[in-house]
Amino acid sequence: MKLYEMEAKEIFRSFNITTPAGYAAKTPEEARKRATEIGKPVAVKAQVLAGKRGKAGGIKFADTPDQAEAAARDILGMRISDLPVEAVLVEEKLDIQQEIYIGITVDRNERKYVVIGSAAGGMSIEELAVKSPEKIVKMYVDPMLGFQSYEAQEMAVAMGFPSKMVRSVAGFILGLWNVADAYDAELTEINPLILTKDGRLLAADARLNIDDSALYRHKKLIDGIKRKPAEQNERERLAAEHDMAYVELDGNIACICNGAGLTMATLDAVALHGGNASTFLDLGGGADAERVKKGIEIALMYPNVRAILVNIMGGITRCDEVAKGVVAARQERGVSIPMVIRMVGTNEKQGQEILSSAGIPFLKTMEEAAERVVQLTKEVA
């Protein structure tokens, strides 16, 4: 579960993490009022559960309340990553001397939280890790002991801060850890943590993603937020309505499978053969023809898709039902992009006969299917 910046900052402040003075606004007139209350130049920031909002025009600066109202009018109602902007955060514009990164996430290989810091914030930490890995400091958290204050100070020193700043920076690192620990965070970060020219440290941005499996422990927070469907794009909403696990990626091959493990393995197989997945779509167990058809329809709605790979292990899911769904989707939607089908298990032979009758090829191994769909994608590129 992702929180908006304004929601995350409210939590951050409760853990003594200092943020700029700011207020949420849902109308241009309210933005003007908030800017007047702040009494300084402000940043008007789109509240949307997507990254790179600045590049999309979702952050504007205003020197006066009139300008804040105009900026809010431009931002409200725009769509960023296909998500509507229904609120803005109006907050003090900062006079920046230095941008710093602090983040905490889960390293699943180590099965531990990892605290990440860099004195070179303000950009994608992934890009920084590739271009200048020496500028990133990492420290793993002992799951039995938690993260200690002396470790936060050690991180601040390793990040290169002078002695007069170590305790202040360490305070933000430790505060962020306390947030992660208290809210079962999959990811929480401050990017950037700003050192202003007048010597203040402020969390200019805030990100907090809570582990869905732990939401039962945060009922008060959930009840207060009252999430609305508008926070999902149409494809995500449809998938959720049909109880399908759906994640959009940066590639162009839609992977439709049954079971999260098989779907992940399929994404890996596609990558191994030089392709990139556009869609992780897990139909779940026992998918019938209608569910398969709906899954293909949802995957096709994503503009990036150039080919579809259906990979099914038939257990309670019957291969003949899968085949019927594939045929129906192609006939009813007039699918013109390549489709590669691999399915084994219950009623496998009957399913293959249905596909053959419809002139749809099928393969028997995941490796063959992944290699074939990547080849077809390159041919139509």
The residues annotated as belonging to the active site are 101, 189
Helix (H, G, I), strand (E, B) or coil at 250: coil
Assess contact for 332 and 297: CB atoms under 8 A.
no
Tell me how far apart the alpha carbons of residues 223 and 218 are, in angstroms, rounded to a whole number: 9
CA distance readout (Å), 355 to 10, 239, 348, 363: 55, 25, 11, 11
Amino acid at 25: A
**What DSSP state is assigned to residue 94?**
P
Strand order in the sheet with 277-282: 245-248, 277-282, 253-257, 307-314, 339-345, 362-363
Measured CA to CA, the distance from residue 242 to residue 368 in angstroms comes to 30
Measured between alpha carbons, how far is 326 from 361 in angstroms, rounded to an integer?
Answer: 11
Q: What are phi and psi of 170, to 5 degrees?
A: -60, -35
What SS3 state is found at 209? Answer: strand
Contact of 299 with 325, CB cutoff 8 Å: no
